Structure 1
Amino acid sequence: MSTPTSPPEGARALAWLETHGSPLYVYDLDEVERRARELMSVLPDGSRLLFSLKANPLPAVAQVLCGLGCDAEVSSPGELSVALGAGFSPERVLYSGPGKSAEEVRGALGLGVTRFSAESWTDLERVDRASRAARRCSRVLLRVNPDTPPMARLAMSGVSSQFGLDEAQWREGRERLAALSGIELLGVHVYQGTQLADVPALLSSLRLAFEAGESLVSALDLPFQVLDLGGGFPWPFATSGTGLDLAPLREPLARWAAERRRTASCELWFESGRRLCGSSGTLWATVLDVKHSKGKQYVVLDTGIHHLGGMSGLGRVPLVSVGVARAGAQVAREVLEEVNVVGPLCTPLDCFARNVKLPPLRVGDRVFVPNVGAYGATASLTGFLSRPPPVELAHRGGEVVAVHRLRWGHEPQARPASEGAQSEETR
């Protein structure tokens, strides 16, 4: 695992650490815009790009993508609150997820959101009931689990999955669909998987999504308006490097869009979170201790898996690349040492890197982890050991535009009146 080079904001980040404390997430909003424009440039004309807030629900990031014309894909009341606060109109929000409760569907409808992705018959009928009760008409995508799996590091369809409904089950339900009066069937939603590793894997996944949409529209013979093909556009996580060149997608996507038959009138939607904001984020931290144990050296940081890596979408606690915040020429001249880089938590799982070669580190030195703008702070074990979340800073061209920190700790909840009365009687 190579040692990453310091990002362009390095000198400023060291000053921000003095001002805002360590550890510190730093997000470059200009980089978010660059990645969004890059992805938009390869999509077929007329396509819509949805920002998946699960990747990074930081309000400043959402505001940039809203301003670029993206729609929002959310899957919780919290993400919905961020999306609306960032400027997305309710009409530009798609509410998805395999476990939407009646309460959150009612809450979304009450805020004006009427676009949902239905993941099962239960989910679809729950949206229908809530819509009729609210006297609203919801516009619903049927999320399909295709028959063929993708070439993905984390497959979300094409295999047995909690996401979507198998193609055959939707095909058999035309009469059941017709009985639902609170919804309008907007179209088909397919999301094959995340971190599709190369261009062939991406093209294969998107081709399967096109085919699944054509197949279901043909079977149901309904006037669908949208074909949501999902995404899976990759970017490295917590290690140096860049994502795939997406330019080779442009021609085949345009050709497949033009060749469609049953979905020819459907607007094409694509989704992305990781690709849009992964490169924008760097986690900066401070060395708390350097010690030796039984022939190994340990560098202890003030950050760990409670701030990065509790759930990175990889299905495990990942090892990461750690860079040293010193001038590149100085780092290049230093003799490297083999170390284990660990966090401050009381668990052996709190380890960022094992047996890696780094320049000699001392207490107080600053280090950084690149490519953590997606699935970083909010995808981690923020509640473990009750340590405070890191500060998150967003900037444009070195000018700080927002500073945030996640809420943490336990909030007292009011006891139900009936419970209180019972307690009085018990006394």
Structure 2
Amino acid sequence: MKIAMVGSGYVGLVSGACFADFGHDVVCIDKDESKIERLRSGVMPIYEPGLAELVAANVKAGRLSFSTDLASSIEDAAAIFIAVGTPSRRGDGHADLTYVYAVAQELAENIRTPTVVVTKSTVPVGTGDEVERIIRESGTDVKFAVVSNPEFLREGAAIGDFKRPDRIVIGAEEEWARGVMREVYRPLFLNRAPILFTSRRSSELIKYAANAFLATKITFINEMADLCEKVGGDVQDVARGIGLDNRIGSKFLHAGPGYGGSCFPKDTLALLKTAEDYNSPVRLVEAVVKVNDSRKRAMGRKVIEALGGDARGKRVALLGLTFKPNTDDMRDAPSIAIVQTLLDAGAEVVAYDPEGMDAAVEILPEVTMAASTYAAVAGADAVALVTEWDAFRALDFARVKSLMNAPVLVDLRNVYDPTEARAAGFAYSSIGRV
């Protein structure tokens, strides 16, 4: 089956490469000529484990190609996926659908054979209706259908998530379109991946509801961590105790500095705006967004407290900048607010991240980027572990202590055992533990 993927960012590139690996003939389309040239040369625009190898193998096999020409690329495509960005719109927080609608207009002008147009981008309820209207009002007499097929890919584990999904959600109104989508995902039938067919609007809402629920779990355990610190509890014990209840589950119950990344912040905000538009407020999600925003700066204040309450003139080393490990994504990373809080308090900040420093330089120009973990901690008055990269899980405590001005370690991911860290001579603090 021929598939066209319009958009070669995170979702489009991962999805396109995986579809090609299933045996489909896939072309990834992007208006950015330099990005397409780099992709043709094997240079990935993002860091995702295993992606470069997957792309290279399928390009070599002739199943994956890249183009800037939409008109020729969609010829004879049974399915055309829209996988362009939907960032928060500046000023009001609504999802910016400019790129989605621009693609719809271009498709309206260039579809020549029957096809299914699939919105893979995360879009508010009703977007598929508008995409269908745009194409239909172009006057085309070509048979087409618009389908919603949200992605559920975790950065750092996206290839595995695509090939071994918890579920595949497809919102389609026409039976023939459902048949096309069954064929698209037929290679996953062997894995018995459940396919949930819904209405288009239900499918669009499922994506937002899922992310809002996961964001709520993260925020809940973070507030329990704060309470644990006050009453003398251990949040890791609390998380395990409630997570063993299979009605709750153990995932997304890891206390930390708050959620970030490309999905949860913008999707929770977009859900709030949709709820406002329909006069159906989601107050729980409102609270989640507010608590998470304030938590990030609170983590900066936690580092300042570890310095004795005064950070002026002190050197603070951050280990990790990206919002999670195994990605170079800095979007809405907790580190941004933590850095700003420290700078506002007069601290000097140095940082090291295995993959995120190129992106971080643009966002955090006042931070000194170090060449390695131990270069970052040299001369520091405090070290804050912000992102739980594997490279930070087995620090040489003796070496770290010898390099620092003062042995202060603030573990914002609860990577280390408090007893061991203190036995090594550190003034150690973590999240939800005493």
Task: Say yes or no: TM over 0.5.
Answer: no
Q: TM-score, normalised on structure 2? A: 0.31
By relative contact order (CA 8 Å, sep 6+), the higher-ranking structure is: 1
Structure ranking higher in strand proportion: 1
